[in-house]
A and B are shown apart, each in its own frame.
Chain A
Amino acid sequence: MTLTETRERTASLGQRALALVKQREVGVLAALILVIVITTAKNPNFLFSNDGFRDLLVTPSLLMLIAVGQAMVIITRNVDLSVGSVMGLSAYLVGRVFVDFAWLPWPTVFLIGLAFGGGLGLINGLVVAYAKVPSLVVTLGTLYAYRGINVMWTGSERINASDMPREFLALGTESIGRIPVITLIALVVLGAAGWYMTTQRGGREFYAMGSDPDAATLYGLNVRRRLITAFVVSGALAGLAGVLYAARYGTVNSQVGSGYELQAVGAAVIGGVAIFGGSGTVFGAAIGAFLLMTINRALPVLGVQDFWQQAVVGVLIVGAIVLDRLAATRQERALARERERSHD
């Protein structure tokens, strides 16, 4: 081993460490840990009580699922605003299944929720892909349409905890080795989506489409199929989130999931997914979801008055985006400088 070789290796190790710190996911994760540490210092129950630990992991899990789907759609330079309504409709469907088809074994509701959500996502995807209407407009439409159907169907009725099987409700709070089941489900989904997006050809094509849709088409990628896939996945994950919502909260009315779409977009953006597509990871979106929900839960514990909590969350979102913007411009400048230097 020569001296130069060793020097090169240490340099690349240092560079790798530096690149890791610069990565957006790491920054968001650091912020998340900071929030948890501060809140736990104020009130140890936040992390160390049984309830506290469980809630810390369970509460962000639903948003995590939806944010993962949302990130996949945003990476293709689209957006899915209907996820909150898809989630609500699926949750009520699941409740109705328990009431009207009580003989069905309860685990089938997971398949029903996934398939139903995927179907609603397919509608979004087909309209976006074939009618060439911007996804912002299409999914804004289905946001209201799906919610309207939900309100019409549900009326002033609600599904109560006593309408659902005990085993199903227990899923909402059960743990396997201290890790809640809902969180495990979310992590499995995250792992699968992350694997697909980083290593599989189809996943990489999502990024290509988002970076430059025209180039992707010219290159011969099947843009339409990838687009529909992204919306179906996003819808199916929203459907799954609806099923888990019913298990976790035990009550389903016509307003389940309203507002989730914007939280999901917020989570993705905080987690470093560029709103115009082409960059970011589902892991970032998942950590963003975690941060968003944990801040929400930490503020009351820190004694921030109810009225201020939403405002604080808003400031944090804007702050995260401004920071991101600053970091991105600085990086661009650094890249440009490097390019000039290499041309010299």
Chain B
Amino acid sequence: MKSSIMNARRSGLAMAAALALALTACSSGGDSDTSSSDAGGGDSGGGDANLSITFLPKNLGNAYFDTSNSVGGQSAIEEFGGTYEEVGPAEATPDSQVPFINTAAQQGVGALVVSANDPAAICDALNEARDAGVKVVTYDSDTNADCRDLFINQATADGIAQVQVDMIAEQIGDEGQIAVLSASANATNQNAWIATMEEILASDHPNIELVDVVYGDDDDQTSFDKTAALLQTYPDLKGIVSPTTVGISAAARYLSTSEYKGQVAITGLGTPNQMREYVEDGTVTEFALWNPADLGYLAAYAAKALIEGEITGAEGDSFDAGTLGSYTVGADGVVLLGDPYRFNADNIGDFDF
């Protein structure tokens, strides 16, 4: 497993090097175009690579994007000496990002890092920007694959299922009854994760029994009452896994004032702000989600690699992402951030989203 990744990385590197050589001419041609238009606009571009990178989140004033952009993205850009800027609409409506994309293209930025409000609505604007020489990286939420150079994917279904099984197994001593508190019965993501979790449990954790899957409909009150019902129905229950941020916080809230506090473990996917109270009072040991700061950091380094022509976004391309190490582009120009990030009492104070 490990060696095959290494091989893939090495061959990716070789390919990237060859491509970079072949493409130097093109990209430098593109650069000169941009800088001439810059001169016309009265902007002082300068430098050999235009490392000005603009972050365009779904909307401004969203704690999740504040973390990914001004914590993750900005620190990456400062590390490699580029210029950071963040623009964005007040509301996350499908076409609200278009004017910001057009403006960035006119300003001749090096790259746009976008979390798309709609996979198709901003495609034309993005492609116009790319024609003008702007590199486009999507993160958090992708567009159609033909409107961007790279997509930084925060997590895969397998990774999410695996981390949840790992956490619950650790917290209950790899033995006993567990239940799942999901979103709605027809939520595609959750159902896929639960199916994968069942497979992993069956093959790797034979002593853990998944006794029930209940649905809180991503509603605080329903999730809360379903948690109460689970605890009453299964007196021997050892743990609850909730792969939804609403469910896990409602379950933790119920458990925090219940007689079962400390006897039943709760884990799953949550955000630090929602879970802080329950981690601090000892109801919850550990939960997971991706780290948005890492996501923004990786997106910034991917944008830099594209601008400098180190990669083109082809499968197998590999680039360096500062403290996160080296990453390889997968199929369809997707870069996977890695395993979900685990939050616990030691690190939850570092996050605010």
User: Contact residues of A with B, CB < 8 Å?
Assistant: 43, 45-46, 49-52, 55, 59, 155-156, 158, 160-162, 172-173, 245, 249-253, 255-256, 296-297, 300-301, 303, 306-307
Contact = CB atoms under 8 A, between A and B. Distances in A.
A255 B277 CA distance: 22
Nearest to B253: A250
A301 B229 contact: yes
A51 B258 CA distance: 6
A255 B273 contact: no
Contacts of B278: 161
B260 A51 contact: yes
A172 B253 CA distance: 11
Contacts of A255: 219
B225 interface: yes
A297 B254 CA distance: 15
A119 to B, nearest CB: 25
B247 to A, nearest CB: 11
B229 A156 contact: no
Task: Decide if the interface of chain B is mainly helix, strand, loop or mixed.
Answer: helix
B235 A45 contact: yes
A251 B259 contact: no
Interface residue tally on B, bucketed by range: 20 to 34
A113 B42 CA distance: 56
Given A162-B273, A301-B232, A51 B259 contact: yes
B220 A249 contact: yes
Given A51-B228, A306-B214, 17 more contacts: A45-B232, A45-B235, A160-B249, A161-B277, A161-B278, A162-B277, A249-B221, A250-B253, A251-B253, A255-B219, A256-B220, A297-B228, A300-B229, A301-B232, A303-B233, A306-B215, A307-B185
Contacts of B260: 51
B232 A43 contact: yes
Nearest to B58: A156
Nearest to A39: B232
B330 to A, nearest CB: 29
B103 interface: no
A52 B224 contact: no
A45 B236 CA distance: 12
A59 B232 CA distance: 15
Contacts of A50: 259
B228 A249 contact: no
A197 B226 CA distance: 36
